[in-house]
Amino acid sequence: MKHSKFKAVDFFCGAGGMTFGMSSAGIEVIAGIDIDPECRETYEVSNPSSKFILRDITQMNVEELKKYIYIKKNDKNMVFIGCSPCQYWTRLVTNKTKSEKSKNLLMDFLRFVEYYMPGYIVVENVPGILKRSDTSNLPLFLAALRKMNYIMDYKIINTRDYGIPQNRVRFLLVASRVRTEINIPVLSNSKHAKVKYFIGAHNGFPKIKAGTRDLTDFLHTTTRLSNANIKRLRCTPKNGGNRLSWKDNPELQIRAYRGKDNTFRDTYGRLSWNKPSSTITTKFISISNGRFAHPEENRGLSLREGATLQTFPREYKFIGNSIMTIARQIGNAVPPTLSKMIANVIIDS
């Protein structure tokens, strides 16, 4: 049931993680805006009460938003959410050329804030936006908010501290111009932020092999693995093992890692049952891109396992024309559990 007081617009909505969490808390998300058409069907099917607007906000006039939704200026109960794509500021990207366009999206989001003056603002991004504030435009964004009399709270958080079973370090900001005080969500009990409480056969995830295709909405689908990678996983200790267990095997050792035991040690590694998972990235289905192997089974994570570690409910439908398309939707999303906590901070006003 919606909380009648608050509404929101989810800029850069992607597959709808932030929208779903906000809606679950009772905030009516009237629209999500994104440039990526591959997210549209997932967003619309899983968030039927929210309108999907397929637009590039860098090419969008602020008044044009009124063509799609009913929105007014200075609405003290309006929330603008700006979780812009963050490839440029993430330390995982070495070639910044392709991600150059994402560098200034925060300032494009600011145009809409300045015009509509919503009561609340939420921003989630990679920590690099704060750590590299000399070039990220974050200081300009914060200065503009202060000039408009927004008060705010922001810092770098790790989602594992909020009961989310994942080491996901993020910059989080919550701001308001209609309150005298506002804070980001308080830390929750992280005792249950462990992989074993979310995935595994004991949690309803049947044992499967690499290359399994699940044609149901559950999407317990995994990528194929070469024979060599299957052998590598067989030699990798269960429950947290890594590639060092087969580094001296000439048949299995990877040439690029010879003599480099401390380089990318998480690649080909298994998750641990009693710890949070690695960050669920857009490539979490590939064991060569991080610690993304199942704790026990000789395979990578399935699409649904990644979505579950992101705290999407099992009934959340992901639609795409390939495994990689859906993995990108999942990896780019804001964990709905975190979104719901942010929404509760606003509602509790």
In order, the DSSP letters of 46-78 are H-TTSEEEE--GGG--GGGGGGTS---TT-TTE
Q: At residue 4, does pLDDT exceed 70?
A: no
For residue 141, give the amino acid letter: F
Across the chain, mean pLDDT equals 93
Is the per-residue pLDDT at 215 higher than 80? yes
Residue indicated by tokens 């200026």: 73
pLDDT tens-digit series, residues 242-274: 999 999 999 999 988 888 877 888 999 999 999
How far, rounded to the nearest angstrom, does the alpha carbon of residue 28 sit from its chain's CA centroid? 20
pLDDT of amino acid 1: 47
pLDDT at 100 over 70: no
Q: Which domains, from first to last, does the chain contain? A: 7-188+335-347 (3.40.50.150)
The answer on pLDDT for 89 being more than 50 is: no
The confidence score (pLDDT) of residue 189 equals 72
Which neighbouring-strand residues pair with 52? Answer: 32
SS3 of 246-289: the string is: HCCCCCCCCHHHCCCCCCCCCCCCECCCCCCECCCCCCCCCHHH
Contact 247, 261 (CB under 8 A): yes
**Would you say residue 96 has pLDDT above 60?**
no
Per residue in 132-159, pLDDT (tens digit) is 766 678 999 999 999 999 999 999 999 9
Rounded mean pLDDT, 56-66: 96
Token duo for residue 339: 């979104």
Residue 128 to residue 96: CA distance in whole angstroms: 13
Q: Sign of the CA dihedral 92, 168, 140, 328?
A: positive
Between CA 264 and CA 289 the distance in angstroms is 9
- 22 pLDDT band, cuts 50/70/90, is very high
Residue 130 is encoded by which pair of tokens?
Answer: 């704060």
CA distances (Å), 178 to each of 73, 75, 153, 182, 349, in order?
A: 14, 10, 14, 10, 10
Q: How many CB atoms lie within 10 A of CB 51?
A: 16
Could you tell me which residues come within 8 angstroms of residue 272 by beta carbon, excluding any fewer than 6 positions away? 195, 239, 240, 295
Q: pLDDT-derived band of residue 131, with 50, 70 and 90 as boundaries? A: confident
Amino acid sitting at position 105: L
Question: Tokens 């967003």 map to which residue?
Answer: 43
pLDDT digits (tens, 9 = 90+) for 23-57: 999 999 999 999 999 999 999 999 999 999 999 99
**Between residues 218 and 87, the one the model is more confident about:** 218
The Cα 195–Cα 4 span in angstroms is: 36
**At residue 170, what is the residue type?**
R
Of 296, 234, 235, the closest CA to residue 270 belongs to 296
Count other Cβ atoms within 10 Å, centred on residue 42.
23
Q: What Rg value do the Cα atoms of the chain yield, rounded?
A: 21
With 70 as the cut, is the pLDDT of residue 338 above it? yes
In the three-class reduction of DSSP (H, G, I as helix; E, B as strand; rest coil), residue 50 is classed as coil
- In this prediction, residue 133 carries a pLDDT of 62
pLDDT band of 183, cuts 50, 70, 90: very high
